[in-house]
Amino acid sequence: MNKIIVWHNPRCRKSREGLKKVEEIASKKNLEVEIRKYLDNPPDVSKLKEVLKKLNMNPIELIRTKEAIWKEIFKNDYKQGKLDDNQLILAMHDNPKLIERPIVIFGDQAVLARPAEKVLELFK
């Protein structure tokens, strides 16, 4: 695999920083970068599950819990134990703004590139 995939939100400073780091690495290693603007084209549930597995994360760890939509719609149900992992994944699919970014995928591994230097973990 010689492609790095970045789930990116161009309006997010942390996402732009992560993408910049990925592009630096890609140019040195002669790798292609594929940018997926996940807000414009949300990942389906199976893709979210696949990426969570590559990240070795639980769904709640990938959710932006400071987003207004989380606080307004999901927070209370989550605190009361009314949302399971599948419901959290569906919430991210239906509301991609909830997905933390940037996610960088390389082969069968992925990292949440916060801070951007976490990308280096994919190339050890």
Q: 20: alpha, beta or left, given left = phi > 0 and alpha = psi -120 to 50?
A: alpha
Active site residue 68: no
Q: Given the residues 7, 10, 12, 53, select the one marked as catalytic.
A: 12
Rounded to 10 deg, the angle between the 45-55 and 85-94 helix axes is 120
Give the active site residues: 12
